[in-house]
Amino acid sequence: MTQTTYDIVIVGGGMVGASLAYALKNSSHRIALVEAFNFKTTQQPSYDDRGIALSYGSQRIFDTMGLWQQLSPHSTAIEHIHISDRGHFGATRLSAQQEKVPALGQVILARAMGQVLNQAMAESDTLDIICPKKVVAISQESNQATLTLDDKQQISSKLIVAADGANSTIRRLLDLSVTEQHYQQTAITANISTERPHEHRAYERFTEHGPIALLPMPDNRCSLIWTVKTGDEGPINALDDAAFLARLQTEFGYRLGQFTQVGKRSHFPLKLTQTEQTIQDRIVFIGNAAHNLHPIAGQGFNLGLRDVIALADVLIDAKDCGDPRHLHDYQQWQQQDQDNVIKATDTLVRLFSNNNVVLGHGRSAGLIALDLLPPAKHWLASKSMGLGKKQPRLARGMTL
Ligand SMILES: Cc1cc2nc3c(=O)[nH]c(=O)nc-3n(C[C@H](O)[C@H](O)[C@H](O)COP(=O)(O)OP(=O)(O)OC[C@H]3O[C@@H](n4cnc5c(N)ncnc54)[C@H](O)[C@@H]3O)c2cc1C
């Protein structure tokens, strides 16, 4: 029987909520995590067959949290990144060697990350996992908030952390405003085998329909994120494997030789969703519940993980976890990071999804300039690695 009053209740056991539960494992707080899906089934939406690019900064965070050893057998290092624009000259190449780091990032199968995070949570004896249970109602009082679950159970907490994803139930129940930007683009994802080895190189290729990313995976496979105009995903996914690969080959080219095999395909409509006020009385929104990004730069979870460590840093020694001063401290820390990443991602989508000729020339000039200018390249690399701002303790190698 679980308790009914807590210091912190995390709603959502996806990558972000589970990472927060683990980051707080050494605290003396009473913590619960509520998740709608049974972790043991394959329905858990966060943990599918996508390859997730973790920045070098995120890898260091997991290392400090003590989870990298479990994650690393499932990961593939990104040693080079190749960025190009279909139909235009110019490409930019980033390399770990030039940036003097062992890797620019790591690609990890979302499903494997789920297994590691779920196992880590299951081993914690200070965490109550309430699952499978859905939050269906919420009320806020001055010193706590109360959740009602779908079995009518009520649980109260000094702080509710909404980590319940892009279509956040908590946000809907509180009738909060969101900024939404529909890109009219859909991402098709699948794992692909290639004729030539990827040699730990990630590719980002911009086309007039949207970007194509290929991330290196084990056994010389690549994780594909192919952005198409919304409406085109139906006919493309209806193609048989050979026709699908031929179509992809036309868009991407032959840098990896012939595409030889494709695994299960999925698709995700792409939009930017931003919760306007991420802190409320006794409630804070993190991860996709706060900001759902276009995957063009692979920043969504990396940003969510920085939300996690900033929040864990302010909560770890808090007496009253829902005290507005702590929530403001968190917001001060993360707001600028969130605004910067959202703006940069949105600008990239607009710049590289437009087949305007003038913009096209500007883009290729930009890519050539970036390739020739080491300081600009270094700046881009440090951004993709998730470095370059004042860091919470878990990002500086200090445990909580
Ligand atoms: C195609 C694609 C590629 C991507 N690639 C990358 C990448 O390379 N790198 C990167 O950093 N990011 C990437 N992302 C983004 C990344 O997937 C997300 O940022 C991340 O999954 C968000 O995790 P989350 O835990 O915030 O939300 P979710 O994964 O959506 O988890 C929310 C959880 O809350 C639960 N929940 C919802 N409602 C309730 C309720 N009422 N009660 C209880 N539980 C509830 C859900 O069951 C779910 O488990 C990509 C995204 C896409 C679409």
Give pLDDT, residue 348: 80
Higher-confidence position of 3 and 395:
395
Protein residue with least CA distance to atom 21, ligand 1: 46
CA of 241 to the centre of ligand 1 (A): 28
Q: How far, in Å, CA of 146 to CA of 341, rounded?
A: 32
CA of 374 to the centre of ligand 1 (A): 35
Whether residue 133 is predicted with pLDDT greater than 50 in this model: the reply is yes
Give pLDDT, residue 12: 97
Whether residue 213 is predicted with pLDDT greater than 50 in this model: the reply is yes
DSSP-assigned letter for residue 41: S
Q: Which residue among 46, 157, 307 has the greatest number of ligand 1 atoms within 8 angstroms of its CB, and so is best to mutate?
A: 46
Q: Is the dihedral of CA 108, 111, 112, 116 positive or negative?
A: positive
Beta carbon of 295 within 6 Å of any ligand 1 atom: yes
What average pLDDT does the segment 46-69 reach?
92
CA of 346 to the centre of ligand 1 (A): 19
Q: Is 304 exposed, middle or buried (0-12, 13-18, 19+ CB in 10 A)?
A: buried
Give pLDDT, residue 374: 60
Find out if CATH 3.50.50.60 is the number for domain 5-75+110-179+271-352.
yes
What average pLDDT does the segment 97-126 reach?
91
- The domain segmentation of the chain, as residue ranges, is 5-75+110-179+271-352
Q: Is 123 exposed, middle or buried (0-12, 13-18, 19+ CB in 10 A)?
A: exposed
Higher-confidence position of 136 and 340:
136
Beta carbon of 164 within 6 Å of any ligand 1 atom: yes
Q: How far, in Å, CA of 169 to CA of 12, rounded?
A: 10
What average pLDDT does the segment 236-264 reach?
96
Q: Which residue among 301, 306, 349 has the greatest number of ligand 1 atoms within 8 angstroms of its CB, and so is best to mutate?
A: 301
Q: What residues are paired with 292 via a beta bridge?
A: 273
DSSP-assigned letter for residue 88: S
The structure tokens listed for 286 are: 């993190």
Share of the chain above pLDDT 90, in %: 69
Share of the chain above pLDDT 70, in %: 87
313, 314, 320, 324: CA torsion to nearest 10: -150
Whether residue 50 is predicted with pLDDT greater than 60 in this model: the reply is yes
Question: 97, 78, 99, 103: which is closest to 378 by C-alpha?
Answer: 99
Whether residue 1 is predicted with pLDDT greater than 50 in this model: the reply is no
CA of 324 to the centre of ligand 1 (A): 26
Q: Which helix (H) or strand (E) holds 105?
A: strand 105-109
- For residue 159, the number of C-alpha atoms closer than 13 Å in the C-beta half-sphere is 27
- Which residue is associated with the tokens 């702080």? 159
CA distances from 250 to 191, 212, 309 (A): 17, 12, 42
Beta carbon of 298 within 6 Å of any ligand 1 atom: yes
Instruction: Give the pLDDT band of residue 384 (cuts 50, 70, 90).
Output: low
